[in-house]
Amino acid sequence: MDYGQMTYNPAAEPMLTNNGKLNLNHAWTSKRYGLRSTKDGSFEASATSFLVYSSKIARGHYFDQNGHPVSVDIARMAGFDVDADLQEKERSERLAKVQKEINLEYQKSSHEVLRERGGYTLRDAGLNRVEIYDREGKKLSVRPMAMAEAQRFFDAMVPPEEE
């Protein structure tokens, strides 16, 4: 994570650290499991109670304070809306799968040479975009460009009379 940026994105934080503990920079909701009622009607923590953490970003994941996963039954007894969280988790996983398939489909490009002049080439980058490569085969364009934009740049670099 680049902390030099002005904005902080908690979604970019992993849920667990490298040693398996909870990452406290991640967005969590915690609820106590093992509360018992007192004589006056309030609740207090029993000797066996512990905190159950749920990710606010990746719903449906539950952990104890040491970073160990806990069952959905324990999370439900702690007071989490497990059914809604699991439905959101399934929805997120299905969306991620479809998004990955779409991205793979659009990333397919032939990289075939569309134009070549003076050692420079215009190559297909997919999605009706092209990239410019130099004589050594290194990509010159920072981003894929529309054909008209790339053609203007290409003509400025290597005038047509040099063909």
Task: Please state which of the ranges 119-128, 136-145, 154-163 shows the lowest mean pLDDT.
Answer: 154-163
Q: Is 100 within a domain? A: no
Query: Lowest-pLDDT range, 16-20, 112-116, 123-127, 146-150?
Result: 16-20
In a domain, 90, yes or no: no
Residue 134, domain member (yes or no): yes
Most confident range (mean pLDDT) of 83-97, 103-117, 123-137 is 83-97
Look at residue 12 in the predicted model and tell me its pLDDT.
57
Number of folded domains that form the chain: 2
Evaluate whether residue 54 is within a structural domain.
yes
Sequence-separated (6 or more) residues with CB below 8 Å from residue 28: 22, 53, 54, 55, 56
Domain end, chosen from 67, 84, 101, is at 84
Assess if residue 92 is contained within a domain.
no
Q: What pTM, to 2 d.p., does this model score?
A: 0.55
44: domain range?
10-84
- Residue 103 resides in a domain: no
Predicted pLDDT of residue 10: 52
Average pLDDT over residues 46-53: 83
The arithmetic mean of pLDDT across residues 19-43, rounded, is: 80
**Mean pLDDT score of the chain, rounded to an integer?**
82
Instruction: Tell me whether residue 97 is in a domain.
Output: no
